[in-house]
Amino acid sequence: MFTRRSVLGAIGATALLAASAGFAQAQDKLYIPLISKGFQHQFWQAVKAGADKAAAELNVNVTFEGPDNETMVDKQIDMLAAALAKHPAALGFAALDSQAAIPLLKQAQDAKIPVIAFDSGVDSDIPLATASTDNLAAAALAADKMAGLIGNKGKVALVVHDQTSRTGIDRRDGFVNRIKEAYPDIEIVSIQYGAGDQLQSTEITKSILQANPDLKGIFGANEGSAIGVVNGVRESGRSDVVIIGYDSGAAQKQAIRDGIMAGAITQNPIGIGYETVKAAVAAVKGETVPKNIDTGFYYYDKSNMDTPEISAVLYD
Amino acid sequence: MSAIKLGWDAGLKSSGAYQKLLAFASLVALIIVFSLASPNFLQTSNIIAILQATSVNGVLAIGATLVIITGGIDLSVGTLMTFCAVIAGVVLTYWGLPLPFGIVAAIAAGAVCGLISGTLVAKMRIPPFIATLGMMLILKGLSLVISGTKPIYFNGTPNFPMISTSSLISAIVPGLPIPNGVLILFLVAGAVSYVLGRTVLGRYCFALGSNEEAVRLSGVNTDGWKMAIYALTGAICGIAGLLIASRLNSAQPALGQGYELDAIAAVVIGGTSLSGGRGTILGTIIGALIMSVLLNGLRILSVAQEWQTVLTGSIIIVAVYADMMRRRRN
């Protein structure tokens, strides 16, 4: 009985997979997999959109994959191994941990597969180019804007996504160092980590406000943290706290339009994806690519978020 | 004694040829399908990549199998693995001790934490789900505290990555570069199979899962055996911790949560019952292989990631349902 069942199942699965395989491998275009740090987050979807745009323009095949969350270093390595097994023309890679990926990147180098790093650098000379945001400088700009909005003095706090990832560290340090260097009258009373989870960041924000009733401002260091800060401030019934966020997304954009959030730093995720694929194609063709591709960042608020320059890099 | 015999019989029955065949047939079917669908699938380098991807989850799943056979559950296996990796990092990198100390410390730390879980369950009568959920969070936090929330790298111990990545097998059989991590997986599987099938500990494992009260009434120190089984699971998590740290050449303190679910999935795909009393290590290994073959194959075929997740979930449900149907018919 079960034999017939499994045979039927196997036939069904074969048909399904053969169909999808035929679909995926029908064209004879250059194949460039992008192994990202994440997948579900809107930011990564925007990077993917940029990569897809470049793929359409340059007539290449691009796939985009990343682990469920940014702690899963080994799952990302498995994805990298599967991508290499497909003999790609080039590879885009956003390392969760540079060192852990080195053996596989060496394999790519030996197989003459050009590697382009994106979002954050890889501590190695294997990637031909890195397309990323200068997070330290971007967070320092957030600190300057915060100082301006609170009159250069008072207490502020940070809600950061995590204390181990490169972006978490750089955004925290960029903000904190700028405040310490340039604004002696501003005191950072609390730095908390909410895993980029909106709900956790909401609770953290409420407890920070509870502990510091005279708090002037909060910086949320990524999309999830920033939305959590907005929720926390709203639930606490406060309207006098200056909030500066990071990245975009529909909820954050709405908070800025509503005036709950003063403004936010945006990277150019679409540009990151686009430049990565563009550099990969150039590398395959043997053209020289710049070592560092700065994909840029902007501060946006109610006054400029609808300008063409800014709205082009914001995502929903 | 009759109760123990009963448990033992249930264990034997579960290792019936049918069940193994079913899981094994699914694995072979998957491999055939993927091989036909893409020429890039059935290549030595990709098969090795699949085996390597299985090694950590496989070892964790072996550990989880033991506790699940007793009718318990261990949600802390993932973060315990990380905790043991961090302990190895502290011993080797922070203290600068030689490699064997790191290995012993990681496995011992695992055994001690497992013993604590076992004590909570057996002596304090906290339900396993809750006790190990608590341990999961405690260990996750402690890993971050001890490591100072940064990855610990093993650059001072150049031999450390060899535990998982270099290949003893290729030294014996040239041209077969199966990494040591995979070898360790199969060694652990063999050892635990032996323990389950041939030792008193294994017999009580099944007996506790079948009818704990009867075992207790027949004068067996059930608490002691249960604690020993949780400690053994912990020690196996220590081995998994060494494998993952060695592969990444670093102890990643934030990693680990979520890995317990992959391990439990491998266990149930392999035909072990979540209500206890039956299960096999061979089944668990096949379950872990099915999960990594499926994921790797879908990636090779460039199936969109959201659909990979849907298919993995469906496979878990189908595998467990097929197993239940077969059981009901018997």
Contacts of B43 in chain A (CB under 8 A): 85
**Contacts A14 to B, Cβ<8 Å:** 32-33, 36-37
CB pair distance less than 8 Å for A164 and B254: yes
Res B52 pLDDT > 60: yes
d(CA B84, CA B53) in angstroms, rounded, equals 19
Distances from the Cα of B305 to the Cαs of A292, B271, B298, in angstroms? 29, 27, 9
pLDDT digits (tens, 9 = 90+) for B160-171: 989 988 888 888
CA B91 → CA A204, B35, B94, B281, B286, distances in Å?
34, 44, 6, 31, 34
Out of B165, B254, B296, closest to residue A103 by CB: B165
Task: Give B10's pLDDT tier (boundaries 50, 70, 90).
Answer: very low
| CB proximity list for B309: less than 8 A, separation 6 or greater | none
Q: What per-residue confidence (pLDDT) applies to B18?
A: 64
Using CA atoms, how far residue B129 sits from A204, B121, B221, B274, in Å, is 27, 9, 22, 12
Reported as a pLDDT band with limits 50, 70 and 90, residue A22 is: very low
Indicate whether B8 pLDDT > 50.
Answer: no
B2 vs A10, higher pLDDT: A10
Nearest Cα of chain B lies from the Cα of A121 at a distance, in angstroms, of: 17
B249 closest CB neighbour out of A68, A99, A162: A99
Q: Which of residues 207-246 of B touch A (CB under 8 A)?
A: 244
Asked if the structure places residue B329 within a domain, the reply is: no
d(CA B208, CA B128): 14
The domains found in chain A, sorted by start residue, are 24-133+269-295 (3.40.50.2300), 135-267 (3.40.50.2300)
Q: CB distance from B141 to chain A under 8 Å? A: no
Is the pLDDT assigned to residue B14 strictly greater than 60?
no
CA–CA distance, B183 with B181 (Å, rounded to integer): 5
Q: Is residue B36 part of a domain?
A: yes
What tokens were used for A147?
Answer: 């100082």
Would residue B123 count as lying in a domain?
A: yes
Question: Do the Cβ atoms of A85 and B301 come within 8 Å?
Answer: no
Q: What is the pLDDT of residues A232-262, one digit of tens each?
A: 999 888 989 999 999 988 889 999 999 999 9
Percentage, residues of chain B above pLDDT 70: 93
Tokens of A261: 């959030």
Of all residues in chain A, the one with the smallest CA distance to B303 is A20
pLDDT above 90 (res B20) = no
Q: Which domain holds residue B271?
A: 2-324
Residue ranges in B127-280 assigned as alpha helix (H): 128-147, 162-165, 168-172, 180-198, 200-217, 222-248, 259-269
Tell me the nearest-neighbour CA distance from A76 into chain B, angstroms: 11
Note the pLDDT of residue B12.
Answer: 42
From A21, A65, A71, residue closest to B252, measured CB to CB: A71
pLDDT, chain A, mean: 88
Residue B23: give its domain's CATH number: 1.10.3470
Residue A101 confidence (pLDDT) above 90: no
Say if residue A14's pLDDT is above 60. Answer: no
Q: Does pLDDT of B330 surpass 60?
A: yes
Provide the pLDDT confidence category of residue B74 given band limits of 50, 70 and 90.
very high
Q: Which ranges in B40-179 belong to alpha helices (H)?
A: 44-69, 77-89, 99-122, 128-147, 162-165, 168-172
Tell whether B193 is covered by a domain: yes
What local confidence, expressed as pLDDT, does residue A1 receive? 40
Look at A13-17, A253-257, B201-205 and tell me which has the smallest mean pLDDT: A13-17
Nearest to A162 among B56, B254, B292 (CB): B254
Residue B48 forms part of a structural domain:
yes
Q: Alpha-carbon distance B77 to A60, whole Å?
A: 42
Mean pLDDT, residues B122-141 taken together: 96
Q: Which of A10, A39, A82 sits opposite B49 (nearest CB)?
A: A82
Compute the nearest-CA separation of B116 from chain A (Å).
26
pLDDT of the residue at A142:
97
pLDDT of residue B316: 85
CB contact under 8 A, A86 and B22: no
Q: Hunting for tokens 């793929």 — which residue is that? A: A55
Residue B93 lies in a domain: yes
Highest mean pLDDT, choosing among A4-8, A121-125, A295-299: A295-299
- CB distance A37 to A121 below 8 Å: no
pLDDT tens digits along B108-119: 999 999 999 999
Backbone angles phi, psi at B322, to 5 degrees: -60, -40
| pLDDT digit string, tens, across residues A150-169 | 999 999 999 999 887 778 99
Nearest chain A CA: its distance from B224 CA (Å): 36
Question: Is there a contact between A247 and A226 (Cβ–Cβ < 8 Å)?
Answer: yes
Residues facing residue A218 across a β-bridge: A157, A243
Residue B330 counted as domain residue:
no
How confident is the model over B235-292, as pLDDT tens digits?
A: 999 999 999 999 888 898 988 988 999 999 999 999 898 889 989 999 999 999 999 9
Least confident interval from A86-95, B149-158, B203-212 = B149-158
Q: Is residue B176 assigned to a domain?
A: yes
Counting the structural domains of chain B, the total is: 1
The model's pLDDT over A176-203, given as tens digits with 9 standing for 90+, comes to 999 999 999 999 999 999 888 888 899 8
Average per-residue pLDDT for chain B: 90
- Region B37-42: mean pLDDT is 91
Per-residue pLDDT tens for B220-246? 999 999 999 999 999 999 999 999 999
* A258: exposed, middle or buried (Cβ count in 10 Å: 0-12, 13-18, 19+): exposed
For residue A116, the cross-strand partners are A92, A129
Token couple for B301: 């075929």
Residues in chain B closer than 8 A to A79 (CB atoms) = 299
Q: What pLDDT does residue B286 have?
A: 94
Nearest Cα to B187, choosing from B172, B169, B170, B175? B169
Is the Cβ of B146 closer than 8 Å to some Cβ of chain A? no
Task: List A158's β-bridge partners, or say none.
Answer: A191, A219
pTM of the model: 0.78
Least confident of A160-169, A262-271, B174-183, B214-223: A160-169
Q: Identify the pLDDT of residue A4.
A: 47
CB contact under 8 A, A164 and B150: yes
Looking at beta carbons, which residues of chain B come within 8 Å of A18? 33, 36-37
CB contact under 8 A, A97 and B252: yes
pLDDT over 90 at B318, yes or no: no
